[in-house]
């Protein structure tokens, strides 16, 4: 009797997307830009990527975790833009460039910007990656202010508190512009210039 030949089990096929998480976040950004946050869901990103409805749950517990990943990417991109603005320009001109880069990022990426500061990810205690990425952007500004203080170009104060106040002012400018509330006052460039002038005046040594 011929011996029974055992067939080798088929090796699992490699996942054809390679990086599913990145693909899902990419799809999420496309949905935000095209249809708004109301259309964003794990089911919809799965459909866009071409995977099963269960596949996104390998990386995201729910819609909020997907939004957190999109927001994290947004903060990372915004931080990169701000750092590039500082390159080759130190002192006050460098900080002014950082402020401009912040505002321009928000105006050019309104869908991501609204999600970054939206209510679903306002509390980040359970979202450590998002918390650290957002804090790194604020820390970059605080470090710049501290450097200006050492050079005698900025008055005394807590650099982190001053950075947070600066962030609040610039965020207000972005949101007013995105909502069409600032258009009747002045151009975006003029408003950015005035905001940065006021920011630097408020930080001037006394």
User: pLDDT tens digit string along 30-40?
Assistant: 999 999 999 99
CB 53 within 8 A of CB 42: yes
The parent domain of residue 56 ranges over 18-60
pLDDT for 61 equals 95
Residues 47 and 75 in one domain: no
pLDDT in tens, 54-113: 999 999 999 999 999 999 999 999 999 999 998 767 777 888 889 889 999 999 999 999
Residues 99 and 155 in one domain: yes
Select from 195, 18, 186, 1 the least CA-distant residue to 102.
Answer: 195
**Whole-number Å distance between alpha carbons of 82 and 74:** 12
pLDDT for 9 equals 46
* Domain tally, the chain: 2
DSSP assigned state of 57? G
Residues 51 and 128 in one domain: no
**Whole-number Å distance between alpha carbons of 77 and 127:** 18
**Whole-number Å distance between alpha carbons of 94 and 80:** 14
Q: Which of 8, 39, 60 is the last residue of a domain?
A: 60
Residues 97 and 49 in one domain: no
pLDDT in tens, 120-145: 999 999 999 999 999 999 999 999 89
Residues 89 and 190 in one domain: yes
Mean pLDDT, residues 139-162 taken together: 91
Select from 17, 70, 75 the least CA-distant residue to 46.
Answer: 17
pLDDT for 38 equals 93
- 10 in any annotated domain: no
**Whole-number Å distance between alpha carbons of 124 and 95:** 27
CB 85 within 8 A of CB 100: yes
Residues 81 and 56 in one domain: no
Residue of higher predicted confidence among 93 and 26: 26
Q: 85: domain CATH number?
A: 1.10.357.10
Mean pLDDT, residues 150-159 taken together: 89
Q: 41: domain CATH number?
A: 1.10.10.60
Q: Which two tokens stand for residue 67?
A: 């939004």
- 13 in any annotated domain: no
CB 69 within 8 A of CB 21: yes
**Whole-number Å distance between alpha carbons of 166 and 193:** 14
The pTM (predicted TM-score) of the whole model is 0.85
High-pLDDT (> 90) share of the chain, %: 63
**Whole-number Å distance between alpha carbons of 20 and 192:** 38
Residues 43 and 91 in one domain: no
Q: Which of 30, 60, 90 is the last residue of a domain?
A: 60
Mean pLDDT of all residues belonging to the chain? 87
């Amino acid at each position: 009797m011929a011996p029974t030949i055992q067939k080798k089990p088929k090796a699992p096929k490699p996942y054809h997307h390679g990086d599913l998480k990145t693909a899902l976040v990419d799809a999420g950004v496309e949905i935000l830009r095209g249809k708004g946050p109301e259309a964003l869901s794990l089911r919809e990103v799965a459909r866009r990527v071409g995977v099963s409805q269960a596949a996104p749950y390998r990386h995201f517990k729910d819609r909020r975790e997907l939004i957190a990943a999109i927001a994290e990417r947004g903060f990372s991109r915004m931080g990169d833009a701000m750092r590039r603005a500082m390159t080759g320009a130190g002192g006050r001109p460098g900080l002014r460039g950082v402020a401009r880069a912040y505002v321009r990022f928000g105006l050019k990426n309104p869908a991501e910007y609204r999600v970054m500061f939206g209510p679903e990810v306002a509390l980040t205690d359970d979202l450590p990656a998002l918390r650290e990425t957002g804090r790194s952007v604020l820390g970059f500004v605080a470090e710049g202010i501290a450097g200006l203080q050492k050079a005698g170009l900025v008055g005394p104060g807590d650099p982190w508190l001053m950075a947070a106040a600066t962030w609040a002012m610039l965020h207000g400018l972005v949101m007013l512009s995105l909502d069409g509330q600032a258009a009747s006052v002045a151009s975006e460039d003029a408003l950015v210039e005035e905001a940065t002038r006021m920011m630097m005046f408020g930080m001037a040594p006394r």
